[in-house]
Amino acid sequence: MTLPSTQRPLIISPDTLRGSSKDRTPPAQALTAKWPVLHYGSIPKVDPHNPDWRLRIFGQVENEYELTYDEIRAMPAVDVRCDMHCVTHWSRLDNVFTGVPTRAIIERAKPRPSAKFVMCHSEAGFTVNVPLKEFITDDCLLAYAWDGQDITPEHGWPLRGLVPRLYLWKSAKWLRGIELRNTDAPGFWEQNGYHMHGDPWSEERFGW
Ligand SMILES: Nc1nc2c(c(=O)[nH]1)N[C@H]1C(S)=C(S)[C@@H](COP(=O)(O)O)O[C@H]1N2
Ligand SMILES: [Mo]
Protein backbone atom coordinates (compact mmCIF):
# COMPACT_ATOMS: atom_id res chain seq x y z
CA MET A 1 0.00 0.00 0.00
CA THR A 2 1.31 3.45 -0.87
CA LEU A 3 0.85 5.90 1.95
CA PRO A 4 -1.10 9.05 1.23
CA SER A 5 1.34 11.91 0.94
CA THR A 6 -0.42 14.00 3.55
CA GLN A 7 2.00 15.96 5.66
CA ARG A 8 3.49 14.06 8.51
CA PRO A 9 6.08 15.57 10.82
CA LEU A 10 9.61 14.69 9.67
CA ILE A 11 12.01 13.79 12.47
CA ILE A 12 15.71 13.86 11.65
CA SER A 13 17.74 11.31 13.57
CA PRO A 14 20.69 13.28 14.96
CA ASP A 15 23.38 10.91 13.66
CA THR A 16 22.44 11.92 10.10
CA LEU A 17 23.72 15.42 10.90
CA ARG A 18 27.31 14.41 11.60
CA GLY A 19 28.52 15.75 8.23
CA SER A 20 29.71 13.97 5.09
CA SER A 21 28.76 10.34 4.43
CA LYS A 22 32.18 9.44 5.76
CA ASP A 23 31.48 11.34 8.98
CA ARG A 24 28.17 9.50 9.20
CA THR A 25 29.73 6.06 8.86
CA PRO A 26 30.68 4.48 12.21
CA PRO A 27 34.04 2.70 12.63
CA ALA A 28 34.58 -0.46 10.56
CA GLN A 29 31.32 -0.04 8.63
CA ALA A 30 30.96 0.04 4.81
CA LEU A 31 28.15 1.83 3.02
CA THR A 32 25.65 -0.10 0.95
CA ALA A 33 22.90 1.15 -1.34
CA LYS A 34 20.96 -2.09 -1.01
CA TRP A 35 19.12 -3.07 2.15
CA PRO A 36 20.30 -6.57 3.14
CA VAL A 37 17.98 -8.97 4.98
CA LEU A 38 19.22 -10.57 8.20
CA HIS A 39 17.44 -12.50 10.90
CA TYR A 40 17.37 -15.80 12.71
CA GLY A 41 14.95 -18.43 11.38
CA SER A 42 12.34 -18.09 8.68
CA ILE A 43 10.11 -15.14 7.81
CA PRO A 44 6.91 -15.58 9.83
CA LYS A 45 3.58 -15.48 8.02
CA VAL A 46 1.75 -12.77 9.92
CA ASP A 47 -1.87 -11.74 9.43
CA PRO A 48 -2.31 -8.57 11.51
CA HIS A 49 -6.07 -8.71 10.90
CA ASN A 50 -6.38 -12.09 12.51
CA PRO A 51 -8.23 -11.44 15.81
CA ASP A 52 -5.29 -13.01 17.64
CA TRP A 53 -2.90 -10.30 16.49
CA ARG A 54 -2.41 -7.67 19.17
CA LEU A 55 0.47 -5.46 20.20
CA ARG A 56 0.74 -5.85 23.97
CA ILE A 57 2.33 -3.26 26.26
CA PHE A 58 2.97 -4.74 29.68
CA GLY A 59 5.28 -5.05 32.68
CA GLN A 60 6.28 -2.17 34.97
CA VAL A 61 3.37 0.08 33.97
CA GLU A 62 0.16 1.38 35.56
CA ASN A 63 -1.86 0.73 32.44
CA GLU A 64 -1.18 -2.47 30.54
CA TYR A 65 -3.00 -2.38 27.22
CA GLU A 66 -3.27 -3.90 23.77
CA LEU A 67 -3.66 -2.40 20.32
CA THR A 68 -5.09 -3.92 17.18
CA TYR A 69 -3.21 -3.35 13.96
CA ASP A 70 -5.90 -0.97 12.70
CA GLU A 71 -5.61 1.06 15.89
CA ILE A 72 -1.86 1.38 15.37
CA ARG A 73 -2.30 2.43 11.74
CA ALA A 74 -4.86 5.04 12.82
CA MET A 75 -2.55 6.67 15.37
CA PRO A 76 -0.74 9.92 14.52
CA ALA A 77 2.29 8.94 12.44
CA VAL A 78 5.63 10.58 11.77
CA ASP A 79 8.42 10.08 9.28
CA VAL A 80 11.94 9.50 10.58
CA ARG A 81 15.01 10.03 8.44
CA CYS A 82 17.84 7.91 9.79
CA ASP A 83 20.93 5.87 9.01
CA MET A 84 21.01 2.11 9.65
CA HIS A 85 24.10 0.33 10.95
CA CYS A 86 24.27 -3.44 11.03
CA VAL A 87 26.78 -5.22 13.22
CA THR A 88 27.77 -7.30 10.16
CA HIS A 89 29.55 -4.12 8.93
CA TRP A 90 27.11 -2.55 6.48
CA SER A 91 25.49 0.84 6.88
CA ARG A 92 22.74 2.38 4.80
CA LEU A 93 22.25 6.15 4.96
CA ASP A 94 19.13 8.27 4.52
CA ASN A 95 16.28 5.89 5.16
CA VAL A 96 12.81 7.25 5.72
CA PHE A 97 10.59 5.15 7.93
CA THR A 98 6.97 5.88 8.82
CA GLY A 99 5.26 4.78 11.99
CA VAL A 100 4.08 5.66 15.46
CA PRO A 101 6.55 7.24 17.90
CA THR A 102 7.46 4.72 20.59
CA ARG A 103 7.19 7.53 23.12
CA ALA A 104 3.43 7.84 22.49
CA ILE A 105 2.96 4.09 22.87
CA ILE A 106 4.97 3.98 26.10
CA GLU A 107 3.47 7.13 27.67
CA ARG A 108 -0.04 5.74 27.30
CA ALA A 109 1.01 2.79 29.45
CA LYS A 110 2.10 5.10 32.29
CA PRO A 111 5.46 3.53 33.14
CA ARG A 112 6.22 3.08 36.82
CA PRO A 113 9.31 4.90 38.10
CA SER A 114 10.90 1.46 38.39
CA ALA A 115 10.72 0.93 34.59
CA LYS A 116 14.24 1.32 33.18
CA PHE A 117 14.48 -1.19 30.34
CA VAL A 118 12.39 -2.45 27.48
CA MET A 119 12.23 -5.97 26.15
CA CYS A 120 10.73 -6.16 22.68
CA HIS A 121 8.93 -9.43 21.93
CA SER A 122 8.48 -10.62 18.36
CA GLU A 123 6.94 -13.56 16.53
CA ALA A 124 8.53 -16.94 17.24
CA GLY A 125 9.91 -15.86 20.60
CA PHE A 126 12.53 -13.38 19.37
CA THR A 127 13.42 -10.76 21.97
CA VAL A 128 15.69 -7.73 22.16
CA ASN A 129 16.57 -5.46 25.11
CA VAL A 130 16.97 -1.68 24.94
CA PRO A 131 17.30 0.88 27.76
CA LEU A 132 13.91 2.63 28.11
CA LYS A 133 15.44 6.11 27.72
CA GLU A 134 16.98 5.13 24.39
CA PHE A 135 13.79 3.42 23.22
CA ILE A 136 11.74 6.62 23.49
CA THR A 137 13.97 9.22 21.84
CA ASP A 138 12.14 11.17 19.10
CA ASP A 139 13.60 9.07 16.30
CA CYS A 140 12.35 5.71 17.63
CA LEU A 141 9.30 4.23 15.98
CA LEU A 142 7.01 1.32 15.68
CA ALA A 143 7.48 1.37 11.94
CA TYR A 144 5.25 -0.01 9.20
CA ALA A 145 6.52 1.79 6.12
CA TRP A 146 9.88 2.48 4.51
CA ASP A 147 10.37 4.84 1.59
CA GLY A 148 6.61 5.47 1.48
CA GLN A 149 5.60 1.83 1.06
CA ASP A 150 4.63 -0.85 3.52
CA ILE A 151 7.75 -2.54 4.87
CA THR A 152 8.19 -5.91 3.16
CA PRO A 153 7.68 -9.11 5.19
CA GLU A 154 11.42 -9.93 5.16
CA HIS A 155 12.13 -6.54 6.76
CA GLY A 156 9.50 -6.98 9.46
CA TRP A 157 6.01 -6.21 8.18
CA PRO A 158 3.47 -5.67 9.66
CA LEU A 159 5.33 -3.86 12.45
CA ARG A 160 8.95 -3.44 13.45
CA GLY A 161 10.77 -1.51 16.11
CA LEU A 162 13.17 1.17 14.93
CA VAL A 163 15.97 2.31 17.26
CA PRO A 164 18.27 4.01 14.78
CA ARG A 165 21.00 5.19 17.16
CA LEU A 166 21.90 1.59 18.01
CA TYR A 167 22.99 -1.29 15.78
CA LEU A 168 20.11 -2.59 13.71
CA TRP A 169 19.73 -5.82 15.65
CA LYS A 170 18.05 -3.66 18.35
CA SER A 171 15.24 -2.96 15.83
CA ALA A 172 12.93 -5.95 16.27
CA LYS A 173 11.08 -7.18 13.20
CA TRP A 174 7.55 -8.69 13.46
CA LEU A 175 6.97 -7.00 16.80
CA ARG A 176 4.15 -8.22 19.05
CA GLY A 177 4.90 -6.92 22.52
CA ILE A 178 6.77 -4.32 24.53
CA GLU A 179 7.64 -5.24 28.09
CA LEU A 180 8.82 -2.61 30.55
CA ARG A 181 11.25 -3.92 33.13
CA ASN A 182 13.14 -2.68 36.16
CA THR A 183 16.19 -4.78 35.30
CA ASP A 184 18.07 -5.38 32.08
CA ALA A 185 18.13 -8.89 30.63
CA PRO A 186 19.72 -10.23 27.46
CA GLY A 187 17.48 -10.71 24.44
CA PHE A 188 17.95 -13.32 21.72
CA TRP A 189 21.14 -12.04 20.10
CA GLU A 190 22.54 -10.81 23.41
CA GLN A 191 22.22 -14.35 24.79
CA ASN A 192 24.28 -15.37 21.78
CA GLY A 193 27.12 -12.96 22.54
CA TYR A 194 25.95 -9.63 21.15
CA HIS A 195 26.45 -6.53 23.28
CA MET A 196 23.79 -5.54 25.83
CA HIS A 197 23.78 -1.95 24.54
CA GLY A 198 24.97 -1.87 20.90
CA ASP A 199 26.24 1.66 20.19
CA PRO A 200 27.77 1.60 16.68
CA TRP A 201 29.97 4.67 17.37
CA SER A 202 31.86 2.91 20.14
CA GLU A 203 31.62 -0.47 18.38
CA GLU A 204 29.64 -2.20 21.08
CA ARG A 205 29.36 -5.29 18.92
CA PHE A 206 29.97 -8.33 21.09
CA GLY A 207 30.48 -9.09 24.74
CA TRP A 208 28.96 -7.30 27.71
N1 LIG B 1 12.23 -10.65 14.93
C2 LIG B 1 13.52 -10.48 14.62
N3 LIG B 1 13.97 -9.23 14.46
C4 LIG B 1 15.27 -9.01 14.15
C5 LIG B 1 16.16 -10.09 14.01
C6 LIG B 1 15.66 -11.42 14.18
O7 LIG B 1 16.38 -12.42 14.09
N8 LIG B 1 14.33 -11.55 14.49
N9 LIG B 1 17.48 -9.86 13.70
C10 LIG B 1 18.01 -8.52 13.94
C11 LIG B 1 19.24 -8.34 13.22
S12 LIG B 1 20.57 -9.23 13.76
C13 LIG B 1 19.39 -7.41 12.24
S14 LIG B 1 20.91 -7.06 11.61
C15 LIG B 1 18.23 -6.67 11.70
C16 LIG B 1 18.21 -6.75 10.21
O17 LIG B 1 17.12 -6.05 9.68
P18 LIG B 1 16.87 -6.12 8.14
O19 LIG B 1 16.76 -7.57 7.74
O20 LIG B 1 15.60 -5.36 7.90
O21 LIG B 1 18.06 -5.49 7.47
O22 LIG B 1 17.00 -7.17 12.21
C23 LIG B 1 17.02 -7.41 13.60
N24 LIG B 1 15.69 -7.74 14.00
MO1 LIG C 1 22.44 -8.50 12.72
Residue 194 φ/ψ, nearest 5 degrees = -70, 160
CATH value at residue 189: 3.90.420.10
The mean pLDDT of the chain is: 97
Q: What is the extent of the structural domain holding 176?
A: 5-34+47-202
Q: Looking at the domain assignment, is residue 39 inside a domain?
A: no
Nearest to 175 by CA among 50, 86, 48: 48
Q: What is the tally of structural domains in the chain?
A: 1
pLDDT for 6 equals 67
Q: Show the ligand 1 pocket: residues with CB < 6 angstroms.
A: 35-40, 86, 122, 126, 155-156, 168-169, 171-174, 189
Residue 128 φ/ψ, nearest 5 degrees = -150, 140
**Residues with beta carbon < 5 A to ion ligand 2?**
38, 169
In this structure, the number of other CB atoms found within 10 A of the CB of residue 202 comes to 11
Residue 164 φ/ψ, nearest 5 degrees = -70, -15
Does the global pTM surpass 0.95?
Answer: yes
Q: Which of 29, 35, 37, 39 should be mutated for ligand 1, with most atoms under 8 A from CB?
A: 39
Report in angstroms the alpha-carbon separations of 165 from 13, 52, 74, 123: 8, 32, 26, 23
pLDDT for 112 equals 98
